[in-house]
Amino acid sequence: MTVLSAWIAPLRRLGLFALCAIGAGLFAAPVVAEELGEANLDKNLLERLTLTPGALQQAFPGADEVVFVDGRPPVVEVWIDGAVVGYLFSTRDAVNATGYSGVAFDLVAGMTMEGDLVGATLLYHHEAIIGRGVPQEKLDEYIASIAGANLRTFSSIRPDYLSRASTSGRLMKRGLLNSAEMVFQGHVLGVPPVTEPTLDRTGFAPFTFEELLASGSILNQAVTNAEMLGIFEKAGGRGSLPDQAFKDGEEGVFFELFTTLITPASIGANLFGDAKYRSYIEDQPEGGLTLWVAGDGAYSFASNSHFRSANDYLFDRLKIVQGALEIRLTRDMHRRLAVSRGPAMNHRNIMLFKIEADQGLDPLAPFDMVLMVAGKDSDGGAMVVDVPITYQLPERHMLLPPPVPLPMWVETWLEKRVDIAILGLLLIVVTIIFLLQDVLARHRRVYEFVRVGVLAFTLGWLGWYAGAQLSIVNILAYIQAPFGGSSIQAFVLDPLIFILSVYVAFTLFVLGRGVFCGWLCPFGAFQELLNRIARFVRIPQISIPPTMLQRLWVVKYLVAIFLVVTVFISVEAAEGYAEIEPFRTAITVKFVRDWQFALYAAGLLSIGLFVERAYCRVLCPLGGTLAVLGRFHMFTWLKRRQACGTQCRICEGECPIGAIEPSGKINMNECLQCLDCQATYYDDHQCPPLIQRRKRKEQRKAGAPKRPGQVSGPAVDGPLIPGAAPAE
């Protein structure tokens, strides 16, 4: 006990402020990893690049000359061999993109006239994890990976490459993409991006006739004689027939229609060649459209009605319908094309129709080319049947606004859906453990297996693999959010931490802090597993007297209060003092960190070999905060007997963290709900009342006579069996 007192006494004398001073000396405030410096961010982009040696060549290798252009957004023109080859731009100038810290970073990239990124450099950032958990070299490698990305795909930029800081990487990627699109539209194309779909009248891409057919750019539909007869009988009854005589039997083609808009150059120029295409659209009305229609089969879409004044020069077999709009085609709108060689010109009838803008046809919306077929109904009366053929211009012939990206948190959740599913299974398992804790605790070996298994998974997968170690920093962020204007997106960007936080908040007010601290804290699991190994190899354990332990408990509450107060004064300082937690070192980055951090975490784990969960019991501000928030939990499912604390103190002596008071009452503020006391509660080889009951049963089964004064009956809470001494 002398060694223990020597270890504890300085801690008691120094108290909270000594700890904070040590934390400030060892860990300091968060380092702002930067090249340029916040004070120079008001300079223009070229000046900022010049202040950082090598930054310009890193962002655009081979640049001969650079010129600052104060546009929207501002850029730096890059010249090579006397010609402009691309631009340098900054995420801060273009979209003011912010990182996970909420502070705008200054990521500068070089882009060619084709939209290819050739390099990047990060002039300034304020991501706390960089340099304190994730080495700066990893961030530099991630920034270097931007070279080779393309504006249209961005597939080569992998945020998960920046392990343990993928949220920061994802924010940088999104800011870079948004900035690149603005620069490409405003400086390369010289036109503002479209805000709604628009017909691409001049854009050209080569397509064959077959490719235009396959993509739906050209609509082709045929109706057989049998199908036409079915249409008439459906409209006019059995015996209805078109006036046009059928040829070639039922399988003969009644009509075949081809149609397309040739106004987009990517259709018209591919159909006719550039020279003919331009001659066909030269008299196209301003803002109007040109429609190509070709037909084969027994029935022609073009009769001679459009040459007769009595018919008002209308085509009586073809019209355009789009919703409530009906456009009747006239002689003045059409141009007949001669049949010639080539897939677009070898049809029986070929015509172009000019549609004026004020006629209201929307080229981007579906419309029907309606073939009107005259005939007789079942009674011999005249009838006209409309046969609509729907045309929809494919998107490849439209100018589309940049696609609205998925919200960043949705993108993150989709990427981590497997991890989310695994975490969900883990939380389901922990929930079942607590719902069925009485069943589990009755079987000590099963309980021990489940306990070690969950702790090992919590440490190995949740902690070391997934990096989902809940920290006091997360709690401070939630507390400070309403006052700092943080949006919900800032919290859901890390789905595992968010889901874990919601689960912990729920269980906190149902059962208390123990659900998280005892089962879902990776560092707590690390301590307990190491201590189990220490006990297995017979490392002596130090027992802290209850009176001293109660005084030590206060420390973690004082540390928690100090951090909560500090976060309202300086978030940066609070993050620095939060390094009293060894979580980031031991779990998130697995000791790949500066020596003082690694030494501190290793020291705490070493103490835990002799005092189980020493850090959790004395220093952990997260545990202290959760204990305060969970003080008024709704349920207490841990069972106690009348003999506990009066006739028996076995559970008190075996409680790994000293949460059972001499009276037998469990201090739920300190209890980790490991269920060890519950296993003892149901163990008829450890719990004296159960031992007594078991022996009575054995005696009755053996037929042995009762000893004088022996109490009969199955009373579990009766006196202890003779000779049984309470645990020290």
**What is the Cα–Cα distance from 620 to 145, expressed in whole angstroms?**
39
Lowest mean pLDDT among 91-95, 188-192, 380-384, 508-512: 188-192
pLDDT score at 23: 46
Longest CA pairwise span in the chain (Å): 130
Between helix 274-281 and helix 265-272 the angle, nearest 10°, is 120
Residue 123: left (phi > 0), alpha (psi -120 to 50), or beta? Answer: alpha
Assess contact for 350 and 258: CB atoms under 8 A: no
pLDDT score at 489: 74
Closest by CA position to 188, among listed 113, 88, 116: 113
**What is the Cα–Cα distance from 37 to 307, expressed in whole angstroms?**
79
pLDDT at 25 over 70: no
**What is the Cα–Cα distance from 616 to 657, expressed in whole angstroms?**
9
Assess contact for 209 and 344: CB atoms under 8 A: yes
Q: How does DSSP assign 309-343, residue by residue?
A: GGGTTEEEEEEEEETTEEEEEEGGGEEE----SST
The whole-number average pLDDT for the span 469-485 is 84
The whole-number average pLDDT for the span 20-31 is 41
pLDDT at 293 over 90: yes
Amino acid found at 404: V
pLDDT score at 285: 85
**Helix (H) or strand (E) segment spanning residue 665:** none
pLDDT score at 29: 38
The first and second tokens of residue 695, run together, are 């022996």
What confidence tier does 213 reach under pLDDT thresholds 50, 70, 90?
Answer: very high
pLDDT score at 340: 81
Closest by CA position to 289, among listed 311, 255, 260, 312: 260
Quote the distance between the C-alpha of residue 466 and its chain's center: 14
Q: How far is CA 255 from CA 212, 223, 244, 302, 385, in A?
A: 21, 6, 11, 12, 14
Which range has the top average pLDDT, 271-275, 516-520, 724-728? 516-520
Residue ranges of E strands in 91-180: 106-112, 117-124
pLDDT score at 173: 84
The first and second tokens of residue 667, run together, are 């201090």
The whole-number average pLDDT for the span 603-630 is 93
The first and second tokens of residue 489, run together, are 């997106």
pLDDT at 16 over 60: no
pTM metric for this prediction = 0.65
What confidence tier does 104 reach under pLDDT thresholds 50, 70, 90?
Answer: confident
CA 175, 181, 183, 188: dihedral to nearest 10 degrees?
160
pLDDT score at 707: 57
**Pairing label, strands 367-376, 349-355:** unpaired
Sheet holding 289-296, edge to edge: 219-224, 253-261, 289-296, 349-355, 334-336
Report pLDDT digits (tens) over 123-148.
888 776 666 666 777 788 888 888 87
**What is the Cα–Cα distance from 266 to 293, expressed in whole angstroms?**
17
**What is the Cα–Cα distance from 133 to 128, expressed in whole angstroms?**
9
Which range has the top average pLDDT, 29-38, 296-305, 339-348? 296-305
pLDDT at 4 over 50: no
Share of the chain above pLDDT 70, in %: 86
Closest by CA position to 265, among listed 348, 183, 202, 197: 202
pLDDT at 155 over 70: no
CB atoms within 10 A of CB 176: 28
| Higher pLDDT among residues 100 and 45, named by residue | 45
pLDDT at 477 over 90: no
| Higher pLDDT among residues 95 and 13, named by residue | 95
- Which residue's entry shows tokens 């997934």? 466
pLDDT at 22 over 50: no
| Higher pLDDT among residues 299 and 245, named by residue | 299
The first and second tokens of residue 368, run together, are 């029907």
The phi, psi pair for 483, rounded to 5°, reads -95, -15
pLDDT at 531 over 90: yes
What confidence tier does 5 reach under pLDDT thresholds 50, 70, 90?
Answer: very low
| Cβ within 8 Å of residue 295, ≥6 positions away | 255, 256, 257, 258, 301, 302, 347, 348, 349
**What is the Cα–Cα distance from 555 to 568, expressed in whole angstroms?**
21
Report pLDDT digits (tens) over 546-585.
889 889 999 999 999 999 999 888 888 888 899 999 998 9
The whole-number average pLDDT for the span 47-74 is 86
What confidence tier does 726 reach under pLDDT thresholds 50, 70, 90?
Answer: very low
| Higher pLDDT among residues 431 and 546, named by residue | 431
Quote the distance between the C-alpha of residue 309 and its chain's center: 67
The phi, psi pair for 224, rounded to 5°, reads -80, 170
pLDDT at 21 over 50: no
Amino acid found at 405: P
Lowest mean pLDDT among 22-36, 167-181, 402-416: 22-36
Q: Is 448 helix (H, G, I), strand (E, B) or coil?
A: helix
| Cβ within 8 Å of residue 325, ≥6 positions away | 360, 361
